[in-house]
Structure formats: C-alpha cells, structure tokens
Amino acid sequence: MADTIGHTPVLLGETLRWLDPQPGQTIIDATAGRGGHSVAIAERVGPAGLVIGFDLDAGNLEYAGARVREAGGRFEGVHASFAQLASSMVARGWRADGLLADLGISSSQLDDPARGFSFMSDGPLDMRLDTSKGRTAAELLAVLSERELADLIFEYGEDPFARKIARKLTHARAVRPIGTTALLAQLVKDAYGSRARASRLHPATRTFMALRIAVNDELAALDALLDMIRRQAASDEAGWLSPSARIVMISFHSLEDRRVKQTFAELHRAERVRRLTTKPVTASESEVRHNPRARSAKLRAIEMRASRMDPE
Ligand SMILES: C[S@@+](CC[C@H](N)C(=O)[O-])C[C@H]1O[C@@H](n2cnc3c(N)ncnc32)[C@H](O)[C@@H]1O
C-alpha cells in the first residue's frame, strides 16, 4: 500500500526560489522522500542536469528516482544517511551546485501502520527509517532504564510529563513487552491521566516523536551534515560543493531549527556564506490549509561565498 502513497512537498515554491536551480546543474536532495522536491528540481535543471538523491528509506528512494526519471530528469540515488553525504560524494567524484534537506519523515512513512510511526493506527513499534538495520523502537523501549527513557522523552519530545510516562512504561514492560503503537499510545494516555483531556495534542505525540528521533539518531545525523557544510565553507578549495552553492534546509521542530539557525549564523559571522534568509521562511495560511504538515515547517537558506573575501 505504502508504495502508492505520495507526499505533498512543503514550501515548494520557496525552496525553488532560494535554491534557484539552473539548467545543467547538479543538485543534492539529501532527503529524497517521495520525490516531490526532486521532480521540481529536475524540471529546473533539465536533462543536462542531475539530481542526486539520498534517503535512508530504500522504498522512498526508489519511488523518488522513478518519478524523476518519468518526468524526463536524471537521478542518481544513494541509499545512505545524509550523515555520509560528503564521503559518498567524494568517493563518486561528484560535486553539487546546491543542496536541499527537508528533514523528518514522509506522509507515506507516517501513514503506513507497518512502519510504526503513528499512534493513529495500530502496528508494530518499529520506527526505523532504514528497515534493513538498527534497533526498533520496541527494542529501545525494552532496554532503556526508567531514567534514560524519561530523559529521552523530555529532551527530544519536550514533554513535561516525561518522568510519569517513563514510570508507566517501565512498570508496563515488566508485565509484557511494549511491541505495538496502540499499546504505547494507550500507556502514555494513561500516564497523562485526567490531563489528557486538557491536552491540545494527542498525549502520545511527543513520546512518539522522541522515540523516532532516538531510533534514527536524527539529531546526530543533522549535526554531521551541518559539520560537513561548516568544513566545506571553511575550505578555500571546492570539494563536494561548488564555490557558490546554495543550501536550503527545512526543519519541523525547534531542536532541528536551532541547530540550522546557529550554524548558518556562525558561518555568516565568519564571512564564509551569504545568508539568503535572515528570518525563517514559513508556509502561507493557504498552504497550511491544504497541507497541515506545513504548519511547523521553517526554511533557512545560505549561499557559499565564491570568494570568501567578497563583501556582502
Ligand atoms: C520529509 S521527507 C522528504 C520528502 C520529500 N522532500 C518529498 O517532497 O517527497 C524526509 C525523508 O528523509 C528521509 N531521511 C530522514 N533522515 C534521513 C537521513 N539521516 N539520511 C537520509 N534520509 C533521511 C526519510 O526517510 C524521508 O524519506
């Protein structure tokens, strides 16, 4: 079922505006997903250009590649984390003129009960973006101490009831493993107790997000990507990014956006990049109406300085 599900790309017009892909260019889509952004980029770079797509999810990557090729574009897929982006590019002798990272998960992943990302439908508690390796959320829940669980839910989910939830989960798992999304959602709701009614979000929202971030080591991957960008910007030699490459990043929660914002500000202060957006670009009311996922999206963009000494 999941292979027919699409994904509405967020901030598509704004992404094209700031990435500004030109005919013949090579652009990296670090999170190819269902190919929404990739197809639009491929149309801009044309048949002489190339989209290099990365994704941890082999199904998504294949789907994105097929869509780009169907639209007449050229696509090279790399089934790897964007944490390995620079080494993968260098190993293949590739250089890009732009980079997009649209962080998080796609609707196809969220809506497929078998992937275990959603508390809206029951399924195995998996949550791995790359289903070929790594620990599932159920395995993680089984091995972390109560303290570690509480810290994880507090830090990554920013849930004020993290300690209560962790206590509930550790008591419950002593009786039977927490192996399904429905059971986890119910346990978190129970931990909230009467406060669940007052909560605007489903009480399990933050716990699910925290587990997903932990299972996929999402913040470490983002830090690795930002570090590669930092090193490339600091170098006077063109490496995997061409000298005036543009970089667009879209994040969906404050833990991600803070990292992107700080890195871009630091590079701007060091006069290594030109900041294209000083404030984050957000979705219009009409986009949010059509695609509620766009509500929390924040886009930031920079351009590498061709000559690092250029005045702005
Ligand atoms: C929000 S979706 C991208 C949607 C895409 N822009 C589109 O329009 O269809 C994010 C994608 O990034 C992938 N992803 C998340 N973390 C990743 C990582 N560290 N490395 C590579 N891909 C990752 C997910 O598997 C998912 O397919």
Q: What is the per-residue pLDDT for 310?
A: 46
Which range (5-19, 64-78, 155-169, 191-205) has the least confidence? 191-205
Ligand 1 contact via 60 beta carbon (within 6 Å): yes
For ligand 1, atom 25, name the residue with the nearest CA. Answer: 57
CA distances from 199 to 95, 159, 161 (A): 48, 11, 12
The sheet with strand 26-29 has its strands ordered as: 75-78, 50-54, 26-29, 96-102, 241-251, 298-304, 273-275
Q: How far is the CA of 274 from the centre of ligand 1 (A)?
A: 26
Ligand 1 contact via 10 beta carbon (within 6 Å): no
Ligand 1 contact via 57 beta carbon (within 6 Å): yes
> pLDDT tens across 81-96, in order?
999 999 999 999 999 9
Q: What is the per-residue pLDDT for 312?
A: 44
Q: How confident is the model at residue 311 (pLDDT cuts 50, 70, 90)?
A: very low
- For the segment 204-224, the average pLDDT, to the nearest whole number, is 97
Ligand 1 contact via 12 beta carbon (within 6 Å): no
Spatial contact of 78 and 49, defined as CB atoms under 8 Å apart? no
**Which helix (H) or strand (E) segment is 66 a member of?**
helix 58-70
Q: What is the per-residue pLDDT for 174?
A: 96
Q: What is the per-residue pLDDT for 196?
A: 79
CA distances from 310 to 103, 266, 271, 303, 306 (A): 31, 17, 8, 12, 8
In degrees, rounded to 5, the angle at the alpha carbon of residue 246 between the alpha carbons of residues 100 and 239 is 95
Q: How far is the CA of 237 from the centre of ligand 1 (A)?
A: 29
Ligand 1 contact via 88 beta carbon (within 6 Å): no
Whether residue 163 is predicted with pLDDT greater than 50 in this model: the reply is: yes
The chain-wide mean pLDDT, for the chain, equals 94
Whether residue 235 is predicted with pLDDT greater than 90 in this model: the reply is: no
Q: How confident is the model at residue 187 (pLDDT cuts 50, 70, 90)?
A: very high
Which of 5, 27, 31, 218 to mutate for ligand 1's pocket (most ligand atoms within 8 Å of CB)?
Answer: 31
Spatial contact of 85 and 52, defined as CB atoms under 8 Å apart? no
First and final CA of the chain: distance in angstroms?
Answer: 50
Q: What is the per-residue pLDDT for 288?
A: 96
Ligand 1 contact via 55 beta carbon (within 6 Å): yes
Ligand 1 contact via 252 beta carbon (within 6 Å): no
DSSP 218-242: HHHHHHHHHHHHHHHHH-SS--SEE
Spatial separation of the C-alpha atoms in residues 205 and 210, rounded to whole Å: 9
Ligand 1 contact via 63 beta carbon (within 6 Å): no
Ligand 1 contact via 102 beta carbon (within 6 Å): yes
For tokens 């941890």, what's the residue? 56
> The whole model's pTM is what?
0.95
CA distances from 57 to 68, 104, 146, 180 (A): 17, 12, 30, 21
> pLDDT tens across 249-287, in order?
999 999 999 999 999 999 999 999 999 999 999 999 999
Q: Where are the beta strands (DSSP E) in the chain?
A: 26-29, 50-54, 75-78, 96-102, 241-251, 273-275, 298-304
Q: How far is the CA of 131 from the centre of ligand 1 (A)?
A: 14
Spatial separation of the C-alpha atoms in residues 256 and 273, rounded to whole Å: 20
In the chain, % helix, strand, coil (3-state, to 5) comes to 50, 15, 35
Q: How far is the CA of 284 from the centre of ligand 1 (A)?
A: 22
- For the segment 44-68, the average pLDDT, to the nearest whole number, is 97
Q: How far is the CA of 64 from the centre of ligand 1 (A)?
A: 11
Ligand 1 contact via 54 beta carbon (within 6 Å): yes
Q: Which residues of 255-294 are buried (b: 16+ CB within 10 A; e: fewer)?
A: bbbebbbebbeebbeeebbbebeeebbbbeeebbeebebb
Q: How far is the CA of 104 from the centre of ligand 1 (A)?
A: 6
Q: How confident is the model at residue 307 (pLDDT cuts 50, 70, 90)?
A: low
Comparing CA positions, the residue from 204, 114, 121 lying closest to residue 157 is: 204
> pLDDT tens across 99-152, in order?
999 999 999 999 999 999 999 999 999 999 999 999 999 999 999 999 999 999
Spatial contact of 219 and 255, defined as CB atoms under 8 Å apart? yes
Ligand 1 contact via 106 beta carbon (within 6 Å): yes
Ligand 1 contact via 7 beta carbon (within 6 Å): yes
Q: How far is the CA of 102 from the centre of ligand 1 (A)?
A: 6
Q: How confident is the model at residue 201 (pLDDT cuts 50, 70, 90)?
A: confident
- For the segment 18-43, the average pLDDT, to the nearest whole number, is 98
Spatial contact of 41 and 29, defined as CB atoms under 8 Å apart? yes
Ligand 1 contact via 82 beta carbon (within 6 Å): yes
